[in-house]
Amino acid sequence: MTILGSMFGATQTATAADEFKYTDEQFADIQMLRYKVHGFDQLSLRQQTLIYYLQEAALWGRDILFDQNGRYNLRIRHMLETVYTQYEGDRTSADFKAMEVYLKRVWFSSGIHHHYGCEKFEPAFSRQWLRQTLLSMGYKEELSGHPQHISRGPRSHNEQSWDELLEVMFSTTDMMMRVNQRDGDDLVLTSASNYYEPGITQKEAEEFYSQRKPTQDPRPVMMGLNSRLERNEWGLLEENTYRVGGLYSEALEHIVYWLQKAQPYADTPQQERVIRELIQFYQTGDLRCFDRYSILWLKDTESLVDFVNGFTETYGDPLGMKASWESLVNFKDLAATERTTKLSENAQWFEDNSPVDARFKKEECRGISAKVITAAILAGDLYPSTAIGINLPNSDWVRRDFGSKSVTIGNLTDAYNKASHGSGMDKEFVIDEPTRKLIAQYGDLTDDLHTDIHECLGHGSGKLLPGTDPDSLKAHGATIEEARADLFGLYYMADPKLVELGLTPNLEAYKAQYYTYMQNGLLTQLVRIKPGSTIEEAHMRNRALVARWVLARANGEAVQGYNPALKADRHHPAVELIQRKGKTYVRVNDYSLLRTYMGELLAEIQRIKSEGDYQAARQLVETYAVQIDPKLHQEILARYERLHLSPYKGFINPRYEATFDSEGRVTSVRVSYDEGYAEQMLRYSRDYRSL
Ligand code: ZN
């Protein structure tokens, strides 16, 4: 699982001496940032070499994600890059400028749909202009032999192969959503992501997998994780597996090549085995092998340099089975890791003292390791938009029997915070000066800590009752899981245990986190959503669910899972939305009561997860997590617009350059930060094109 940052760090005074440029260009709804790889120069040459090879293995997976996100994406990217680099007409014309923005968005999302909202981009240039431009350039596609890229037979003679790409880009009826989660729709047929061959229905796909589900196996593989579901010549469904010699072979061969280079430089013998097993997995596509790799990987807590490289998260599949490719190379931030070590050493205490029903608690919390890391490269589904924390592996039985490895990415959080200084958000949305001061004082600290608890303890806590199918919450599973981890964090933020452990300075600090969480879930996260749309993304749904449930609870509504013995005082609610001069604010009147409510919801969410209560999950999500009051939405958007900020952020990677001796050994690795966004994307398309 990944955790995405709450989008606004707290406001604080910028440190003057830091000359590193954290912000870069802005386009559409995007602000590009840069992160600094603190401490790279202090690593040994051996470790730098390892990072160099692993970042090559990371960058070679880029095309996989583009193709997973939609079967025309690679062709569209190539076509537009050709126009962008070779166009000889007026580059200042409105059409060209609009095409440039569109291409930057395609790069950012690894495809033609929004990376967060999933809706298809609307080109602001004309189809006629693009067609004329392509014709006058004599643009011809070199179609590779991948059948999944080609959708039609022979064309009439004045029609170009790329005409169908224009149709895809400009159509207002086809491929409108990358991942469609709307209840009642056929989620597979109506999602444009490329995990199922066109024409395969949700019912067919679900039947295919439910027939294959090993009901008795206590250690089931994550079925469907690394394949595209296709129809064979007999009309029967079968999986086309991502592996060397299978689907995405060309990209995977490059990745394997660089992993083999990295292998002798592994930090520890354990890590050497991790890399070997991963190569084996890419070569065979065998999910048993993937589980073995995952276990080796989570047990490797000694290596200073670490990485994720593989088919990992399933947010892009409407059925939540198939994983998008991602990579992250990183190394340990030793000082900050002390913080998370304290949490994981006390994991059992947190488990025992949570407000969850004893039946759903783990008797023995083990294997939770946690560390703060410095990201060295982001790739695939972690680039440019990225997570600030990771908890892997995702396999339920591996987590149950072996635990998981949790990281928070310190240098990315730091970059977000540095970039948000003086953004004006707090001034506009926080209710009063004392609350702003509280946030300025404790916001960064508690935000980091909440992320740590979410990842180290939250996802790892609790257990399923025997016989509960881990997939029983289906499309709502991800939202419920994120809510569970968030609530675990929120509940403990206010606990004296954290003061005792030296993680928070006092019992005031958590209020900064509670206020910003409620404000974000009720108000400010709406800036990421277009008027008329609903909340779709799992982390956003989770935040809305938590904040709105707590608000309803505080205002005396008979919400699902509340403790009727504890009546809320609706005349003096613990938290409320108030109006001032036409502006809506969150007002918190009783922070400690807020904590009690969060504890109630945590207990209910854990019950839903442990029992696999689909109806209750659905009820919660549909009541609190999806719909938006259009009037409130309009107000928030208008207030936000006046600040001229971008709701989404992403990172330009640093660039690594190595020098070699006559035997091909790396003699030095240099990191630089001056590459532009378009420059980087074009370099990746040129140097790492595989599909
Ligand atoms: Zn999470």
Quote the ligand 1 centre to 1 CA distance (angstroms): 5
Q: Mean of the pLDDT values across residues 33-50? A: 95
pLDDT level of residue 150 (50, 70, 90 thresholds): low
The model's pLDDT over 454-465, given as tens digits with 9 standing for 90+, comes to 988 999 899 999
In this prediction, residue 6 has a pLDDT band, given cuts at 50, 70 and 90, of very low
pLDDT at 99 over 90: yes
Which tens digits make up the pLDDT trace of 499-543? 999 999 999 999 999 999 999 999 999 998 999 999 999 999 999
Mean pLDDT of 570-591: 96
Q: Give yes or no for residue 17 having a pLDDT over 50.
A: no
- The mean per-residue pLDDT over the stretch 59-64 comes to 98
| Distance from Cα 249 to the centre of ligand 1, integer Å | 31
Distance 382 CA to ligand 1 centre (A): 14
Residue 403, Cβ neighbours under 10 Å: how many?
20
Q: Rg of the Cα trace of the chain?
A: 25
With a pLDDT cut of 70, the percent of the chain lying above it is 94
* pLDDT-wise least confident of 270-274, 441-445, 533-537: 441-445
Where residue 14 falls among pLDDT bands split at 50, 70, 90? Answer: very low
Could you tell me the distance, in angstroms and rounded to a whole number, from the CA of residue 609 to the centre of ligand 1? 14
Average pLDDT (81-94) is: 97
Distance 118 CA to ligand 1 centre (A): 19
Q: What integer pLDDT is reported at residue 15 of this predicted model?
A: 41
Q: Over 80: is that where the pLDDT of 155 sits?
A: no
3-state class of 304 per DSSP? Answer: coil
Give the Å distance between the CA of 408 and the centre of ligand 1.
Answer: 11
User: What is the CA(603)–ligand 1 centre distance, in A?
Assistant: 17
Contact by Cβ (8 Å): 680, 673: no
- The answer to whether the pTM exceeds 0.85 is no
What are the residues whose beta carbon lies below 5 Å from ligand 1 (ion)?
1, 3, 482, 485
How far, in Å, from the CA of 453 to the mean position of ligand 1?
A: 10
H or E stretch covering 331 = strand 324-332
pLDDT tens digits, 175-185: 999 999 888 99
Cα of 393 vs centre of ligand 1, distance in Å, is 12
Is residue 482 pLDDT above 50, yes or no?
A: yes
What is the secondary structure of 594-628 as a DSSP string?
A: HHHHHHHHHHHHHHHHHHT-HHHHHHHIIIIIS--
Element (H, E) at 227: strand 227-231
* CA 390 – ligand 1 centroid, Å: 7
Strands 2-3 and 23-27, sheet pairing:
unpaired
The pLDDT score that the predictor gives to residue 627 is 97
Geometric angle at alpha carbon 121, from 116 and 126, rounded to 5°: 165
Lowest mean pLDDT among 55-64, 137-146, 563-572, 650-659: 137-146
What is residue 580's predicted lDDT score, i.e. its pLDDT?
Answer: 96
pLDDT value at residue 603: 97
What is the per-residue pLDDT for 153?
54
Ligand 1 midpoint to CA 459 (Å): 7
| pLDDT for res 131 | 97
Residues 287-297: pLDDT tens digits? 999 999 999 99
* DSSP letter for each residue of 28-71: TTEEEEE---TTGGGS-HHHHHHHHHHHHHHHTTHHHHHHHT-T
Compute the distance from residue 494 Cα to the ligand 1 centre, in Å: 20
pLDDT, residue 372, reads 84
Q: Which residues contact 627 (CB under 8 A, 6 or more apart)?
A: 534, 535
